[in-house]
Structure formats: C-alpha cells, structure tokens
Amino acid sequence: MDFDDKIFVAGHRGMVGSAIFRALTKAGYQNVITRTRQELPLDNSNEVESFFAVERPKYVFLAAAKVGGIQANKLYGGDFIRENLQIEVNIIDAAYRHGVEKFLFLGSSCIYPKFAEQPIQETSLLTGELEETNLPYAVAKIAGTVMCDAYREQFGFNAFTVMPPNVYGIGDNFHPENSHVVAGLMQRFHKAKVNCLPEVVAWGTGSPLRELIYCDDLAEGCIYLMQNYDDGGMINVGTSDEYTIRQITELVADVVGYEGKIAWDKSKPDGTPRKIMNNEKISQLGWKAKTEFRTGLEMMYAWYMQECEVG
C-alpha cells in the first residue's frame, strides 16, 4: 500500500476496526475512509453498491461484524447469522466488481472445529464439528472465508482471511450480555469492587485454554499482511501464548484490584476445551505480536476507566 492509496476500513468503530484505523493513520496513510453504520448500513446491498461505485477504494479491511460472547450467541443466533452473512456478501461482491486490488477479511478462530488438533493449523477448517455455543456466528464467518477463496479461484480476486484468537483491548464492548470474556470479566470485577461485593461468579470450570491477542497487535499484523502477503486462503495471527479461563479471570481481577472471592458456576458451559493456533505462517513472514497479556489488560482497564461509564 502506498501512503496516498484509498483504503476502506469497514467497521472502524469496533475494537479491531478502530485499532486498524489508528494504526494506519499513525503509520502515515493519508486516504483512509470510513463510514458509520448510519452513513452506510453494510447489510443493505444497494447502499454498499453505491458506496463502492462512487469511492472505489484500492484496499479494504473488512472488520465489521456482529459479535458477542457465549450468552449473546445463544440469545441472538438468528441476528448473528443473518447480519454477518449480509455484510460479507455485500462487501466482498461489491469490492470485487469495483476493482479493489486487495481485500482482507477478518475471520475468527471460533470457526475451527471444536476438537481440532492443537495448535490449530489453517488446514483444520471444516474437518470436524463446531462448538455449538457460537454455531450461527461461526457458520457465517466460514461462509465469508469460503467466499473470499471462491472469488479468488474463479475471478482472480486478491482476497484472504486473517484468523485471530480471542481479541481484547481498548474499544472493546463491555455490555453485560454481549461482551467477550475479558471485557465481561473486567466490567463485572470493576462493578464488584466499586460496590464492595464479596463474591463474583464466573462461568464454567475455569479449565478451558485460550490464546489472546491485544487489539493493536492484531491491527499491526493485518497491515503487515496487507503489505507482505499475497497467497490467499487463511492465515492465523496470534501470540502462541495460552492461559486457562481461571488464569485469565484471576489476572483480570488483579488488574482491576478486586479482592473478593471468585466462585465458579460449573452448571454453565465451558465452550471449546482448548483453542490455540499454529502461527508458523505469519512468523515465517517476519511478524510477531509484542504486547504482554498483563500489559494489555492494564492499558485496557485504564481506557475503560477513562472512557466508559463506571461505578
């Protein structure tokens, strides 16, 4: 990418999209375009078509998606599959037809099989059953990945998919029902600290293992790939570090400063037992994440205290 190329970041108000936007502008890219949901509803094919016909961006980062944790996926599965499919179909097709030179689709490690061999390689996709707690979202993301591959194969469209592990960081969603694990824990521990609650209940057994990446690291990885990767398909972008849910929970509590008891509700689902990715592909290209987990949590909590409603 040249510094004056027109670059469209779809989903620039989400955690990953905003991180990509920050990283691009910080690096000196001068023609980064964005649209809010009100300005451009990405699930409206006519609006998306008009946008690409007029703006004709050269590069596209598709980070827009309807996302959430286990509870949100369970409650709103229909919304998750419908909205994500509409966004993907509209943007991938319009980008191809209006001459986008390179297209990055942000996938999710949750689309890998529930019992995939660990660490998970890119070739594991569609080799086993999915985790049922996020099935609608995962199926939609698989469809976007396959669509990128099919358009590359049939039309020569230079599209590929980035597969991140669990993402956390500034700009995350702290909604009590719709948040991911780190943001949900951080919000609950903060409220418990402020209100002097003696106990916080965490879901499951605490035994599942997770790999996490700080949002700004993921953004830099995406930009690095847009500059240096042309092989298509999928590429994992993770840290290769893993923590149990119990370790994550206790570390978040420590960063927040909550000193009460953590109780585990074993009647709640654990989700996938282990999820760490094989990151050899991107490592061989010369990229590595740099933010240590506790440091990322501390930056995230500082942002939360400054920007979000607390107390």
Residues designated catalytic? 137
**CA end-to-end span of the chain, whole Å?**
44
Nearest-angstrom CA–CA distance, 261 and 162: 38
Widest pairwise Cα distance in the chain: 60
185 among annotated binding-site residues: no
Residue 108: other Cβ atoms inside 10 A:
23
17 among annotated binding-site residues: yes
Instruction: Tell me the DSSP string of 229-274.
Output: ----SEEE---S-EEEHHHHHHHHHHHHT--SEEEEETTS---SSE
277 among annotated binding-site residues: no
Quick one: 64 exposed, middle or buried, by C-beta within 10 A (0-12, 13-18, 19+)? buried
Q: How far is CA 65 from the centre of its chain?
A: 9
246 among annotated binding-site residues: no
11 among annotated binding-site residues: yes
58 among annotated binding-site residues: no
Q: How far is CA 174 from the centre of its chain?
A: 15
165 among annotated binding-site residues: yes
The identity of residue 216, as a single letter, is D
Walk across the sheet containing 59-62 and list its strands.
Answer: 32-33, 7-10, 59-62, 102-106, 159-163, 234-236
Phi, psi of 160 (to 5 degrees): -150, 170
Containing 100, the helix (H) or strand (E) segment is: none
167 among annotated binding-site residues: yes
141 among annotated binding-site residues: yes
182 among annotated binding-site residues: no
Output DSSP code: residue 90.
H
Phi, psi of 26 (to 5 degrees): -65, -35
283 among annotated binding-site residues: no
Phi, psi of 230 (to 5 degrees): -135, 20
Nearest-angstrom CA–CA distance, 152 and 84: 20
184 among annotated binding-site residues: no
14 among annotated binding-site residues: yes
109 among annotated binding-site residues: yes
204 among annotated binding-site residues: no
297 among annotated binding-site residues: no
* Residues annotated in a binding site for substrate: 188, 203, 210, 270
* Residues annotated in a binding site for NADP(+): 11-17, 106-109, 141, 164-167, 180
* Residues annotated in a binding site: 11-17, 106-109, 141, 164-167, 180, 188, 203, 210, 270
